[in-house]
Structure 1
Amino acid sequence: MNITAMIKLTISMAIFGSIGFFTIHTGIPAVELVFIRCICATLFLGSLWIATGGHKSEKWEKLEVGKTLICGVFIVLNWVFLFKAFEEMSISIAISIYNLAPIFVLILGAVLLAEKMTFGAILATIVCFIGSIFIVGIDNFTSINDFISSGFIWAILSAICYALTMFMSKTITGLSSYALTFIQTTVGIFMLAPFCDFSVFNGLTTSNWLYIAGTGLIHTGFVYYLFFDSIRNLSTVVVSVLVFVDPVVAILLDVILLSFRPTLFQVFGILLIFGAIIYTIYQPPQKTVISDEKG
């Protein structure tokens, strides 16, 4: 067991768990915040990539670069939708829905790759859907306008885009993590620049700028460095466990610092979602039955 790697990953997930708290204190909308985040990540990780000499050993293949560019679009949309969800709903609720991504990966595999979903996977999907209804509030499903303004759609879209990113990233094996992220964040800069309203940066306080810098340099640059530097030395099981530090920290900060008080139904919904996700990740592998029949 690589203790150093475990500590790095735990720190990176704990820091990332505070991104919602930082986001709502930046004073700027989602698109502009993600744009700044992409610039910071590109400069920070690009510098590390060059400083370590990793750029010299990269093997560039057209297919892999193409997939990475598409992943870049999905991951940028994932950030924009998540930050917009933070604008409309509690961080705890948005993060809970955002973490439905593993369930969506299962659904994508069934739809696009014709992979068979087990009974447990189908049950987990249904439980997550019920949990989502509980945490958003059943009353928000009685009116289309209330439902849209609840932020639920933004949170679901962020989870879907994150799932698409994970789904496509599985097929990218030739590029290093630094190259992968550098390309994706560069895509974000060119993708969002035409939609940015740069006037939102006028009149910001020193506190706003500190939170913006923190979101870009700490939550993107530093966290990604720790994340990529640690996961290579840890098993999939350990990584799967430690990534749950992120939502736990996010919910704790929401409750302690932002005075979020979930209702009993919301607590039940959060437990349903994370229980189903944990079951999906750690369910025992299916035994393969070999038939003796010939022909």
Structure 2
Amino acid sequence: MKYKIQLILSMIIFGTIGLVVRHIELSSSELALLSSAIGCLFLICVFLSAKKRFHWDMLKNNFILLFFSGVALGGNWIFLYASYQYTTVTNSTLAYYFAPVIVIFCSPILLHEKLSIKKGICIFISLLGLVMVVGNGMSNMAYSDFIGIVLGLIAAIFYASLMLINKFIHNMDKLELTIIQLAIVAILLFFYVFFKNGLSFFSISASSIPFIAILGIVNTGIGFWLFFSGMEKLSGQSIAMLSYVDPLVAVAISGIVLCEQMTTIQVIGGILLLGSTFISEVRLDEFHS
């Protein structure tokens, strides 16, 4: 039960990212830089306090994969944060949670995993749900909302890429892996942001500072710490099942705290998208594990 509570808490923390980002007056690349840098420093402290050591030989052997996984993680955050700036947290979340569907679709080709009839049907239903969310957005929502959904889908592609790349990285502690990926994101984005915006990047408004600290320490650092602590003793199916606390929290915050609304068609589409992906990843016997 302890590990399930830790994983659920991490999902609740991840689900509040959209709310926190809304209060920070920075571009999506600047947000990604700060969250990765602060989160990386926090996790290094956790890693060292646990008296763990970096396995430099494994880092060297997996360098290329680690580099591209860092690029994927950075792209994931940049486009997700940008999506929050264009549309509602609900729209961004629903588009972003198309990532597991992309992984399922690509697994037979890249991972040589068999695509079952059940998962094939779930992919079709997920696509139908996505069409309902995006299609309704095109006809009844502002152009900015449609752009936000597209950005959320691009973020989903990067996140799916990250999950697939991580499948090929072996013999590395998950916390150690995340620290390296965050470090790569921070280094790459530092040079990108510095050369793009110069020293103006450091002129952050006072009102944004507390939320930047929350994004880096809580949403990234503590969130990942609880996530890896919780998943240590849980099965993959249990992790997949509990991960849906994240979008549910995000959607609840969108409706209750931010008072963002969805049309009936979008609600149905969202249920189809999240529900079919959930069903594709869990088995009934996992509820008793």
Unmatched runs of 5 consecutive residues or more in structure 1: 285-295
What's the TM-score, normalizing by structure 2?
Answer: 0.89
Structure 2 match to 1:186:
183
Of the three residues 94, 100, 103, the one matched with 2:101 is 103
Q: 1:271 to 1:84 in 2, by over 3 A?
A: same
Structure 2 match to 1:76:
74
Q: How far, CA to CA, are the matches of 1:220 and 1:154 in structure 2?
A: 21
Q: Which stretch of the first structure deviates more once superposed, 32-41 or 149-158?
A: 149-158
C-alpha distance after superposition, 1:171-195 (max 9, x if no partner):
2231112221111111111211233
Q: How far, CA to CA, are the matches of 2:283 and 2:175 in structure 1?
A: 32
Q: How many Å apart are 1:110 and its aligned residue?
A: 2.9
Q: Does 1:53 align with 2:51?
A: yes
C-alpha distance after superposition, 1:141-194 (max 9, x if no partner):
79xx94895322211111111111111112223111222111111111121123
Q: How far, CA to CA, are the matches of 1:224 and 1:185 in structure 2?
A: 11
Q: How many Å apart are 1:214 and its aligned residue?
A: 0.3
| Counterpart amino acid of residue 268 in structure 1 | I
Q: How far, CA to CA, are the matches of 1:113 and 1:236 in structure 2?
A: 16
| Counterpart amino acid of residue 5 in structure 2 | I
Q: Within 5 A, what are the aligned runs for 1:230-269?
A: 230-269=230-269
Identity %: 26
Q: How far, CA to CA, are the matches of 2:131 and 2:249 in structure 1?
A: 23
C-alpha distance after superposition, 1:79-109 (max 9, x if no partner):
1111111111111111111111111112222
| Counterpart amino acid of residue 204 in structure 1 | S
Q: How far, CA to CA, are the matches of 1:200 and 1:149 in structure 2?
A: 28
Count residues in correspondence: 281
Tell whether the 8 Å contact from 1:19 to 1:215 is kept in structure 2 after alignment.
yes
| Counterpart amino acid of residue 179 in structure 1 | E
Q: 1:251 to 1:148 in 2, by over 3 A?
A: closer
C-alpha distance after superposition, 1:184-216 (max 9, x if no partner):
1111112112332352552513x3111111001
Structure 2 match to 1:288:
none
Structure 2 match to 1:199:
200
Give the number of the structure whose alpha-carbon radius of gyration is greater: 1
Q: How far, CA to CA, are the matches of 1:47 and 1:120 in structure 2?
A: 43
Structure 1 match to 2:133:
135
Q: How many Å apart are 1:113 and its aligned residue?
A: 4.3
Structure 2 match to 1:287:
none
SS at 2:58 equivalent:
coil
Q: How many Å apart are 1:37 and its aligned residue?
A: 0.7
Q: How far, CA to CA, are the matches of 2:144 and 2:35 in structure 1?
A: 29
Comparing both structures, which one devotes a greater share of its residues to helix? 2
Tell whether the 8 Å contact from 1:12 to 1:223 is kept in structure 2 after alignment.
yes
| Counterpart amino acid of residue 80 in structure 2 | L
Q: How far, CA to CA, are the matches of 1:214 and 1:161 in structure 2?
A: 24
C-alpha distance after superposition, 1:211-262 (max 9, x if no partner):
1110011001111111111101112222122111111110111101110111
Q: Within 5 A, what are the aligned runs for 1:2-81?
A: 3-55=1-53, 59-60=57-58, 62-81=60-79
Q: How many Å apart are 1:280 and its aligned residue?
A: 1.4
Structure 2 match to 1:280:
280
| Counterpart amino acid of residue 199 in structure 1 | S
Tell whether the 8 Å contact from 1:136 to 1:150 is kept in structure 2 after alignment.
no
What's the TM-score, normalizing by structure 1?
Answer: 0.87
